[in-house]
Amino acid sequence: TFSFQGKDIHYEVYGSGKTILLLNGILMSTLSWAEYIEPLSSGNRLILMDMLDQGQSAKMSGPYKQDIQADVVNALCEHLAVESLCVAGYSYGGKVALQFALKYPKRVERLVLFNSMAWTSPWIADIGESWNQAAKLDGKAFYLSTMPIIYSPHFYEVENKWLTDRQSWVLPVFDNPVFRAAITRLTDSGLGFDVRDRLSEITAPTLVVSGELDSLVPIAEQTLMASKISNSQHVILAGSGHGTMYEASLAFASLLYGFVNIPKVAYSHK
C-alpha cells in the first residue's frame, strides 16, 4: 500500500524482469488476475493495482474525473522508482492507460489496450447510466444489467455452470451498497473522456486487442483507435465478447506475454 493524496492505494508486485502493470476493468480488482499471476510473473515483474474506488484501495467521497487514476499510476511509478514500464489496461483500465500514455509518455515502453476505446460516447454513457439505475436496486439487478452485456452469448451458454458457481461470491459483493456506490462513481468518472484527437501523439508500440463479439465496447471504435495510433497493431479474439480475459484467456495471456517480451519488432510494416 502507498498513499496518493491521502488515499491508500493497494498494489501487489510479483517476480522480476521487465515490468508489466495491469490496470483493472471497472468491476475488477487485483483478485481478478489470480490465474494470470504465475504465467505473467515468470520472467517479468508483474504489478497489480486497485485504482481509487476499486478493491482494497480507498473509496472516494464524491465525483472525480477518470484521469486522476492516471496520476495514481504515475505516483505508483514514483513510489516504486520505476522509470518506465509496459502498461496493459482492460476496458476502463485501457482508458486509464491511454490517459497515462498521453500525460506521462516517457513512462510507457509498450502499451496494450484490451477492449478499450478512446472516448465515452453517448451510447456507452447511457449503458453506464443503465448500470447506475440498476445499482439503485440490489446486487441481482446490478448483476443482470452488467454480466450479459460483458460475456458473449456463446460463453454465457457453455460456461453457464462457471458463471452460476461464481455468483456465490460475486452476488454478495454486488449486494454491498458501498461497492455499487463506488462502481457508480467509477462509471461517472469516465463521462467527458475523449482523446480521439490525441491518439497520434502516442509513439509507444501499441497492441489493440478486441473481442470479436464485444457488445460493450464496439469493435469499430477499436479499429478506429488502432488506425490512429501510428505504431500499433490490432488483434481480434475470435468468438469472444467483452470478457476476453475469461473467454479467451490463453490467447489473452499469450498476446500480453509475447508483445511485452519479444526483443525486437520484426519488419517495419504496421
Q: Which residue's CB is nearer to its own copies, number 108 or number 226? A: 226
Residues 57, 214, 164, 28, Cα dihedral to 10°: -10
Residue 46 in contact with its own copies, rule: CB under 8 A: no
SS3 217: coil
Strands 18-23 and 44-49: parallel
Written as one string, the DSSP assignment of 91-103 is THHHHHHHHHHHH
Q: Which of residues 162-201 bind its own copies (CB under 8 A)?
A: 162
Q: Which three cell numbers stand for residue 67?
A: 484521469
Handedness of CA 129, 199, 212, 174 (dihedral sign): negative
Q: Which three cell numbers stand for residue 150?
A: 460483458
Q: Which of residues 50-89 bind its own copies (CB under 8 A)?
A: none
Total binding residues toward its own copies, as defined by CB under 8 A: 75
Residues 6 or more apart whose CB falls under 8 angstroms from that of 177 comprise: none
CB of 185 to its own copies, least distance (A): 18
CB of 27 to its own copies, least distance (A): 15
Exactly one of 23, 25, 29, 36 binds its own copies (CB under 8 A); which one? 36
SS3 261: helix
Q: Which residue's CB is nearer to its own copies, number 60 or number 125? A: 125
Residue 95 in contact with its own copies, rule: CB under 8 A: no
CB of 62 to its own copies, least distance (A): 23
Kindly indicate which of the ranges 6-14, 186-194, 195-203, 212-220 contains the residues binding its own copies, using the contact rule CB under 8 A: 212-220
Residue 156 in contact with its own copies, rule: CB under 8 A: yes
Rounded CA gap, 101 and 229, in Å?
A: 12
SS3 142: helix
Exactly one of 134, 186, 202, 204 binds its own copies (CB under 8 A); which one? 134
Residue 130 in contact with its own copies, rule: CB under 8 A: yes
Rounded CA gap, 51 and 78, in Å?
A: 16
Q: Which residue's CB is nearer to its own copies, number 4 or number 92? A: 92
Binding mask 97-126 for its own copies (x = CB under 8 A): ------------------------xxxx-x
Exactly one of 56, 74, 167, 261 binds its own copies (CB under 8 A); which one? 261
Residue 155 in contact with its own copies, rule: CB under 8 A: yes
Q: Which of residues 220-249 bind its own copies (CB under 8 A)?
A: 220-221, 223, 226, 233-239, 246-249
Residue 45 Ramachandran class (φ > 0 left, ψ -120 to 50 alpha, else beta): beta
